[in-house]
């Protein structure tokens, strides 16, 4: 159905498939970042983003916005952090959003920053900042 329209003419099949995977993950409640999709495909983040927008327009549909909570448990698990750090990070991120401190910032970046703050300040876990780009694919 996606391929039938003229909106995606000239786009590679791999780019369309990657964008479809991104959309399917979001619709099923297990969102992935564009960088995670790029890691398993040979398509650039920019091209996946373009196809993503074109597919949503062609199908006249939308996907739910991503939130910090969508990534918090996965990022904490990847870092091997205890549940108490995850709860604190979730509270920090939710408070930052509620207080409108982080408008326009990526929820992924806000989640990573909250995890870093919770692990460093409150619980004194020695997680080097250099480990965060690898785990959360933010930077």
- Return the pLDDT at 136: 46
- Residue written as token pair 């990526």: 106
Domains along the sequence of the chain with CATH: 13-59 (1.10.472.10), 69-136 (1.10.472.10)
* CB neighbour list of residue 107: distance below 8 Å, 6 or more residues apart: 66, 67, 68, 70, 71
- From first to last of its 139 residues, the chain has per-residue pLDDT tens of 565 667 778 888 999 999 999 999 999 988 998 889 999 998 999 999 999 999 998 888 888 888 888 889 889 988 888 898 899 999 999 999 999 999 889 899 999 999 988 888 766 656 666 655 544 444 3
Calpha distance 2→32 (Å, rounded): 21
**Diameter of the chain by CA atoms?**
55
Cβ 115 vs Cβ 85: under 8 Å: yes
**Rg of the chain over CA atoms, in angstroms?**
17
- Return the pLDDT at 122: 62
- Return the pLDDT at 138: 44
Q: Which two tokens stand for residue 35?
A: 């960088």
- Return the pLDDT at 139: 37
- Return the pLDDT at 38: 93
């Amino acid at each position: 159905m996606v391929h039938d329209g003229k909106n995606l003419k000239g786009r590679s099949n791999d780019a369309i498939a990657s964008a479809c995977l991104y959309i399917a993950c979001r619709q099923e409640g297990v969102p992935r970042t564009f960088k995670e999709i790029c890691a398993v495909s040979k398509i650039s983040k920019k091209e996946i983003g373009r196809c993503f927008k074109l597919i949503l327009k062609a199908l006249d549909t939308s996907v739910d916005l991503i939130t910090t909570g969508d990534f918090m448990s996965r990022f904490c698990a990847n870092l091997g952090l205890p549940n108490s750090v995850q709860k604190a990070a979730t509270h920090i991120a939710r408070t930052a959003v509620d207080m409108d401190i982080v408008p326009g910032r990526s929820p992924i970046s806000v989640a990573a920053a909250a995890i870093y703050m919770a692990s460093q300040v409150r619980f004194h876990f020695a997680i080097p900042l250099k480990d965060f780009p690898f785990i959360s694919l933010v930077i």
